[in-house]
A and B are shown apart, each in its own frame.
Chain A
Amino acid sequence: MGGLVNEEEWSDIIRYMYSHEDATVLIVRVKELARATRGGSGGGGGGGGAATAKPGNTSARTPRGAPPPAKPPPYRLPYASFLKVLLDFQLAGHQQFLSHFLRLWREYDPEARGVVAEEAFRRLVLALDPSKDAPLGQNNTAALAAPSRLNRARRGCLGGAAVARRATPRQHTHRVFRCV
């Protein structure tokens, strides 16, 4: 858990788990974090064999040889930091995805009890019904304004099999929840 993740590794993970669009965003975020981390900690590898380097797919960097000074510094960061970037991304997706439903929920649970009875549930369901123009037109305006963010939210949210089957363009997206 305390090891470092090399750029080659984390970028492979991101590209495997996310769509191209999401991966691009995440790679930028991780690079920024790695740069900031490097700035704070100096920049070395941390003297660690704990950097989880797999023998098969790494570049030729032997433990005996000194690190090449001329190369650009690698975007390497602690595993925990990398994980946090992914979790924050997922959380933002959840919040975005649920924002529309949450607004509806608050309408039907005005006392914020956290539970509704059958009648309120029925009205909630009808308000969600896409075939009904009035509530959808009002409540979905904001949601439709940001398709790319919604797209991400749709993929990242709920983790349910139904979601993954019905709307997830990449079937491996829900693995995020298992991995992290």
Chain B
Amino acid sequence: MTAIQDEGELRRLLRTVDPLNHQQMTFSDCVATLSADLVAVLGRGLASATAPPQPSGA
């Protein structure tokens, strides 16, 4: 889980979402770039509510 706090992390995200600095970041671009953090946010919320399911062996 990466806390997006520092400028370096923000710059990294910006390079990913807008590598050519077009200043035109679409919804899909943002979702794709931030998906891991979206999951982390939800996962953290879930962890406080219920324990996340464990991976099955299969």
Which A residues are within 8 Å of any B CB, using their own CB?
16, 19, 21, 97-98, 100-101, 105, 109, 114-118, 121-122, 124-126, 128-131, 136, 140, 143-144, 147-148, 150-151, 153-154, 157-158, 160, 162-163, 166-167, 169-172
Contacts and interface: CB of A to CB of B under 8 A. Distances in A.
A118 B14 contact: yes
A78 to B, nearest CB: 28
Contacts of B45: 140, 143-144, 147, 150
Contacts of B39: 154, 158, 162-163, 166-167
Given A118-B23, A122-B10, A129 B43 contact: no
Given A143-B45, A147-B46, A151-B46, A115 B35 contact: no
A169 B54 contact: yes
A121 B14 contact: yes
A162 B35 contact: yes
Given A144-B48, A147-B50, A158-B31, A97 B38 contact: yes
Of B13, B30, B48, B49, most buried by chain A (CB within 10 Å of CB) is: B30
B33 to A, nearest CB: 9
A162 to B, nearest CB: 4
Given A97-B38, A118-B18, A105 B25 contact: no
Interface string B1-13: 1011100001001
Contact of A128 (B4, B32, B50, B58): B4
Nearest to A122: B10
Contacts of B25: 115-118, 121
Contacts of B24: 115, 117
A25 to B, nearest CB: 14
Given A117-B23, A125-B4, A130-B3, A170 B36 contact: no
A23 to B, nearest CB: 11
Contact of A169 (B14, B30, B48, B52): B52
Contacts of A160: 32, 35-36
Contact of A105 (B23, B27, B46, B58): B27
A139 to B, nearest CB: 9
A118 B30 CA distance: 11
Given A115-B26, A163-B39, A151 B4 contact: no
